[in-house]
Structure formats: structure tokens, C-alpha cells
């Protein structure tokens, strides 16, 4: 597999992950219950547009590079309580962040500057999601 094909394959994994993030946050926003409902429902809902924007960008980029964008999301675990939701989201965001750092260096090697800059934007978005999740998880209610 050449460098460009490896990049396209990686971006397709990222796309599956972004579709999964849309499903994950939608599932959480619509199933969270208990005392956390009023705070966590809008919090989860607010993440969805960012992830959808990331998915749309990746799908267009893969197509532009001559690849076939996936329509299959990565699997999403169904978890019941708020703490498990926040922990699963934290894990997903941190995996995504690592993947984008790999993708950024692949894009850099290929001198794809627009993609590098956009990946940096997405890294910044995911880092922001991660920080918000870890701040919420610091609440004594979750310890
Ligand atoms: Fe994302
Ligand atoms: Fe995210």
C-alpha cells in the first residue's frame, strides 16, 4: 500500500469513528436519566454538530482523494448510567485525538497542507470535547 492509500484507509477509519460519535452522543442524549438528565442531555446534544461536521469533511476529502468514503459507523457500546456514558465518551475522544495526530503526520509527509490544517482544527475540537468531559467527570457525584 502506498502512502496515499494508507492515508485514505486511515481517513476512512476516522470517518467511521465520527459517524460513531454522532450515534454515541445521540444515543446518550436520548437515553440519559436521573439527576444528571437536565445537564447531560444538552451537553451531549451540543457535541453532535461538531462530529457531524468532521464526518462530512472527511467523507468529502476521501472522495476527492479518489477513495470510497465508508457509510459504516464504528461500533457504539450501549451503556446505561451517566458515569459509564461519560467514561466511554472520554475514551472515544482520546482515541480519536491520537488517530488525528497520526493522520496529521501522514498528511504532512504527503505535503497536503489543507488537510494538515483541517486536522489541526479537528484535533483542537476533540481536545476541547475531552477537556469538557474530564471536567464533568471530576464532579464528586461521579467519584
Ligand atoms: Fe469529531
Ligand atoms: Fe469529539
Q: What is the per-residue pLDDT for 14?
A: 98
pLDDT reported for residue 105: 98
Residue 7 lies in a domain: yes
Element (H, E) at 122: helix 113-137
Q: Is residue 134 part of a domain?
A: yes
Q: What angle do CA 131, 137, 139 make, to 5 degrees?
A: 120
Would you call 132 helix, strand, or coil by DSSP?
helix
Q: For residue 42, how many other CB atoms are within 10 A of its CB?
A: 10
Ligand at shortest distance from the CA of 54: 1
Q: Is residue 71 domain-resident?
A: no
* Structural domain of 114: 3-65+78-142
CATH number at residue 128: 1.20.1260.10
CA-based nearest residue to 75, from 56, 88, 63, 90: 88
Distance CA(50)–CA(126), nearest Å, equals: 9
Give the Cβ contact number of residue 31 at 10 Å. 14
Closest CA to 126 of 95, 88, 87, 105: 95
Query: Is 70 inside a domain boundary?
Result: no
Gap from CA of 19 to ligand 2 centroid (Å): 11
33 in any annotated domain: yes
Number of domains in the chain: 1
Write out the residues surrounding ion ligand 2, Cβ under 5 A. 93, 126, 129
Ligand 1 center to residue 34 CA distance, Å?
Answer: 27
Tens digit of pLDDT per residue, the chain (143 long)? 899 999 999 999 999 999 999 999 999 999 999 888 999 999 999 999 999 999 999 999 999 999 999 999 999 999 989 999 999 999 999 999 999 999 999 999 999 999 999 999 999 999 999 999 999 999 888 87
pLDDT attached to residue 142: 82
Amino acid at each position: 500500500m502506498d502512502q496515499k492509500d494508507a492515508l485514505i484507509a486511515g481517513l476512512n477509519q476516522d470517518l467511521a469513528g465520527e459517524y460513531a460519535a454522532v450515534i454515541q452522543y445521540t444515543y446518550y442524549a436520548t437515553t440519559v436519566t436521573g439527576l444528571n438528565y437536565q445537564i447531560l442531555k444538552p451537553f451531549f446534544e451540543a457535541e453532535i454538530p461538531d462530529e457531524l461536521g468532521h464526518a462530512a469533511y472527511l467523507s468529502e476529502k476521501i472522495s476527492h482523494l479518489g477513495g470510497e468514503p465508508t457509510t459504516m459507523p464504528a461500533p457504539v457500546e450501549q451503556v446505561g448510567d451517566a458515569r459509564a456514558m461519560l467514561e466511554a465518551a472520554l475514551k472515544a475522544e482520546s482515541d480519536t485525538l491520537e488517530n488525528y495526530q497520526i493522520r496529521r503526520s501522514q498528511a504532512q509527509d504527503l505535503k497536503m497542507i489543507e488537510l494538515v490544517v483541517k486536522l489541526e482544527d479537528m484535533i483542537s475540537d476533540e481536545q476541547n470535547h475531552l477537556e469538557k468531559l474530564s471536567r464533568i467527570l471530576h464532579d464528586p457525584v461521579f467519584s
